[in-house]
Structure 1
Amino acid sequence: MTQKPLFVDLERNEPAAGQLLIAAPGKRDHPRSVFLIVEHSDQLTFGVDLTTRSEIAVFNVLPEWLPVVAKPQAFYIGGPLNQQNVMGFGMSATGIKPEDHPELNKIAPRLVYVDMRADPEKLKSLVSGLRLFAGFQEWGPGELAAEIEEGGWYVAPALPQDVIAPGGADLWADVMKRQPMPLPLYSTFPAEPEGN
């Protein structure tokens, strides 16, 4: 008898911009990953991986952005597509309304997509932290729905601090801990269960 994936029988949230895709424990591709959904429609889902940090320092490529980039100040790999394209996501500063600032596009409360053509100096007063992502992940028509149906992903609301989590944080475990039971019980599930 084969065991059903953990997420199959759980109540489901619908994918939408501002939601997270949390990889199922033991998922072979994208193990222990957390994706932020940036756009979602019947035709396309587009998001960035919040968990994969590169070895490339922001200072070496875009030093002018250092004053607004959260530590660790390295690029994150948003996904395998178009990795020469850099996107910025961050947490708006307290009291800032993104709709009043063309440099910011609201994804969820205090979670913003930043126009990379903006002046980083101006952004210092608009965001509490920013992360730069090279590349993105894309799902075509029906692909993400099928992966969710098979139990590959759990959909949950994002918090703005998820995007700028400290370098030492285990974002996957932290996100799992704040979900309804029984998901917090799986927050210590290892990346490579065969080695345990």
Structure 2
Amino acid sequence: MTEVSSLTGRLLVATPALSDPNFDRAVVLLLDHDEEGSLGVILNRPTPVGVGDILEHWAGLAGEPGVVFQGGPVSLDSALGVAVVPGEAHEAGERGARPGPGLRGEDTSDDGPLGWRRVHGAIGLVDLEAPPELLATVLGSLRIFAGYAGWGPGQLEDELVEGAWYVVESEPGDVSSPDPRHLWRAVLRRQRNELAMVATYPDDPSLN
């Protein structure tokens, strides 16, 4: 099998051609990507449900808006915490840390503060079973996601070939965007190529 080049930590930005309503104008942060498949969370699907309604002890650390986000169509009854720890990106570079959230069982216990596992740079996964006090002094931002987006082996690669997604670099601020509903346009607009023009694509092309 051909080795898959990992896109862990990158963003998948839905192209206007993507017709699946689950991913219409979605911005997906990839938490894991290898030959076994891919897993990510949609960063721009806030729900009306407050974090305090389902995870009261984490509500005080959740960034604005303090609501649960729909991370994707898979396992909507499960919760994932994604958080930025300022300063960790530089330290990861110094140590040459392997990118990846430990979702497939890697031992990353010594990589970053207790209760947090690095995904990419300063972005990592939070152990929501741990006491929030462990991370209260180091977290820069926290987002809680219900469900996730998942792809089987080779499935995401097929969608990329079909032109369903743009792949771009993530920034720590994407996780904690205070205006998540406009994240699709904001991510495209910052690209230094023709993708910046896609940000002007109308919501309804028939009106163009």
TM-score range, shorter chain: 0.7 to 0.9
State which of 177, 182, 191 in structure 2 corresponds to 1:165.
177
> Would you say 1:39 and 2:32 are equivalent positions?
yes
The one-letter code of the counterpart of 1:187 is A
| Per-residue Cα deviation, 1:29-63 (whole angstroms, up to 9, x for no partner) | 21211101111111211111111111111122212
> Would you say 1:24 and 2:15 are equivalent positions?
yes
| Matched length | 183
Q: Which runs of 5+ in 2 are unaligned?
A: 92-109
| Per-residue Cα deviation, 1:142-183 (whole angstroms, up to 9, x for no partner) | 211111011111111211111111136511111101223111
C-alpha separation between the residues in 2 aligned to 1:107 and 1:65? 20
The one-letter code of the counterpart of 1:51 is N
Report which stretch shifted further, 168-177 or 151-160. 168-177
**Partner residue, 1:86:** 79
Change (3 A) 1:100 1:15: closer
Change (3 A) 1:168 1:152: closer
Change (3 A) 1:99 1:46: same
* Aligned residue runs from structure 1 range 1-196, under 5 A: 15-29=6-20, 30-94=23-87, 99-167=111-179, 170-196=182-208
Q: Which runs of 5+ in 1 are unaligned?
A: 1-13
Secondary structure of the 1:170 match is helix
Identity score, percent: 31
C-alpha separation between the residues in 2 aligned to 1:113 and 1:173? 25
The one-letter code of the counterpart of 1:152 is A
Secondary structure of the 1:60 match is helix
The normalised TM-score by structure 1 is 0.86
In the TM superposition, residue 193 of structure 1 has moved relative to its aligned partner by 2.1
Secondary structure of the 2:186 match is helix
